[in-house]
């Protein structure tokens, strides 16, 4: 996992440079300025990391709750062999490493780079909206993982799907699985987060970043089927969650910044009166 972290950091640096056309290290300076400038942003960042921490411990919480529900058969009954058909139609040995790269590295890389790009673009609305989106997405998804558990497609034998991830990453179950439960399928977080980043990039007006995040989202969404991980139902749920979370997040970001501007105007008027 140490190599995953190192590669992710390197990818984030490259993505920020491409997306913002500025020194990626300046993003660290800008985030420091924003944290000092706005206590609201500090609270938002704390909230975001708190939700991410809760997600990290979700598997432990699930084990302590001794939940035994399993809705995998129900989901399979709804969509049948859709994922198997995708694998049979598109599987190609040379394509698998590309899909694995996007699935393992690009999700968190695009998310982190989005913050850097918006910081360097001085786009505070999209910066705040990205943080709000993560909070909303995880806050909605975690209860589903606890009370509506659905196993990954490849693990359900009647689905007839192969876990092609192991062709490229044979130690996936040992090194990556502890971060993601086998039954944390609905809604698909890979879909929700990647599509959310693309939707926010589209709203941001940064065309380069829109292209990058869209390519990443399309590849990841295709990849969840290609690798035999998620059901079609998971993808639809993740897409709906992305639309909902980004819509609410942008409005919350605007309200947060607008209230701050109103306070500044009031203070300015009071100073002028004096």
Render pLDDT for 207-261 as a digit per residue (tens, 0 to 9). Answer: 999 999 999 999 999 999 999 999 999 999 999 999 999 999 999 999 999 875 5
- pLDDT surpasses 80 at 269: no
The pLDDT tens digits for 113-144 are: 999 999 999 999 999 999 999 999 999 999 99
- What's residue 160's pLDDT? 95
Q: Where are the domains of the chain?
A: 2-273
Q: What is the 3-state secondary structure (H, E, C) of the chain?
A: CHHHHHHHHHHHHHHHHHHHCCCCCHHHHHHHHHHHHCHHHHHHHHHHHHHHHHHHCHHHHHHHHCCCCCCHHHHHHHHCCHHHHHHHHHCCCCCHHHHHHHHHHHHHHHHHHHHHHHHHCCCHHHHHHHHHHHHHHHHHHHHHHHHCCECCHHHCHHHCCCCCHHHHCCCHHHHCHHHCCCCECCCCHHHHHHHHHHHHHHHHCCHHHHHHHHHHHHHHHHHHHHCCCCCHHHHHHHHHHHHHHHHHHHHHHHHHHHHHHHHHHHHHHHHHHC
Euclidean distance between CA atoms 76 and 200, whole angstroms: 32
Q: Give the model's confidence band at 266: pLDDT under 50 very low, under 70 low, under 90 confident, else very high.
A: very low
- pLDDT surpasses 80 at 267: no
- What's residue 261's pLDDT? 54
The residues that bridge with 150 in the sheet, in sequence order, are 184
- What's residue 274's pLDDT? 40
- pLDDT surpasses 90 at 105: yes
- What's residue 145's pLDDT? 92
Q: What is the mean predicted confidence (pLDDT) over 141-168?
A: 95
């Amino acid at each position: 996992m140490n190599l995953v972290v190192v590669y992710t950091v390197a990818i984030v640096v490259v993505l920020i440079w491409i997306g913002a056309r500025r020194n990626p290290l300046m993003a660290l300076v800008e985030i420091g300025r924003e944290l000092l400038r706005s206590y609201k942003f500090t609270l938002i960042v704390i909230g975001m990391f708190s939700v991410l921490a809760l997600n990290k411990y979700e598997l432990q919480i699930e084990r302590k709750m001794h939940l035994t529900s399993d809705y995998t058969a129900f989901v399979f009954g709804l969509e049948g062999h859709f994922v198997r058909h995708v694998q049979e139609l598109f599987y190609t040995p040379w394509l698998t490493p590309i899909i694995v790269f996007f699935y393992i590295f690009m999700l968190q890389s695009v998310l982190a780079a989005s913050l850097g790009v918006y910081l360097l673009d001085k786009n505070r609305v999209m910066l705040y909206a990205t943080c709000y989106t993560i909070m909303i997405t995880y806050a909605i998804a975690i209860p589903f993982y606890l009370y509506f558990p659905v196993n990954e497609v490849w693990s359900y034998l009647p689905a007839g799907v192969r876990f092609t991830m192991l062709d490229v990453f044979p130690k996936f179950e040992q090194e990556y699985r502890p971060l993601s439960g086998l039954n944390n399928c609905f809604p698909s977080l890979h879909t929700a987060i990647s599509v959310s980043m693309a939707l926010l990039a589209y709203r941001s007006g940064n065309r380069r970043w829109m292209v990058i995040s869209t390519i990443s989202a399309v590849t990841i969404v295709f990849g969840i089927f290609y690798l035999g991980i998620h059901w079609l139902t998971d993808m639809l749920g993740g897409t709906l969650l992305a639309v909902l979370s980004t819509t609410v997040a942008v409005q919350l970001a605007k309200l947060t910044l607008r209230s701050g501007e109103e306070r500044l105007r009031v203070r300015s008027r009071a100073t002028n009166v004096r």
